[in-house]
Amino acid sequence: MKDIFLTYIQNFKQDKILYVFLLSFSILFFSCEGCRLGIGTVYDKSTKRPLGGVTYKNVVDSDIHLTDSTGKYKLRGNFGACMPTCPDYDAEFLKKGYKTKVIKNPKGNIYLEVD
């Protein structure tokens, strides 16, 4: 009986090391998957007032969004590995009467100029 118990303990230790290794490997490589996130506000460049109803999108995808009445936008980039960095993406902001603006990895404030 003692031999069975000792064998069980040895196998448990070996399995525990394997589980810790697999868990560490998974966290290191799979948790690095993700995307860039751009959050901010779109303003009129001359008046510095927020612009509602601005159309914006990631240029490689067909999802079109509109800023809210306070000019807020939230845009997600392409999903991919973060090693060493997440993939870049270009976002397009446009509104009738303003010049279209394309920005790489937008975040923070965006200022549109009157056309």
Given a cut of 90, is residue 112 above it in pLDDT?
yes
> Tokens 């973060």 sit at which residue?
82
- What's this model's pTM, rounded to 2 decimal places? 0.67
Given a cut of 60, is residue 5 above it in pLDDT?
no
Of residues 108 and 60, more confidently modeled:
108
Task: Report in angstroms the alpha-carbon separations of 70 from 13, 81, 104.
Answer: 58, 33, 22
Joined together, the tokens standing for residue 15 give: 């399995």
> Tokens 């090693």 sit at which residue?
83
First-last CA distance in the chain: 87
- Share of the chain residues as helix, strand and coil, in percent rounded to the nearest 5: 25, 35, 40
pLDDT at 67 (0 to 100): 97
Mean per-residue pLDDT for 89-115? 95
pLDDT digits (tens, 9 = 90+) for 21-67: 655 655 555 555 566 788 999 999 999 999 999 999 998 888 899 99
Letter for the amino acid at 7?
T
Measure CA 1 to chain center.
Answer: 56
What is the DSSP code (8-state) at residue 19?
H
Maximum mean pLDDT: which of 57-61, 78-82, 108-112:
108-112
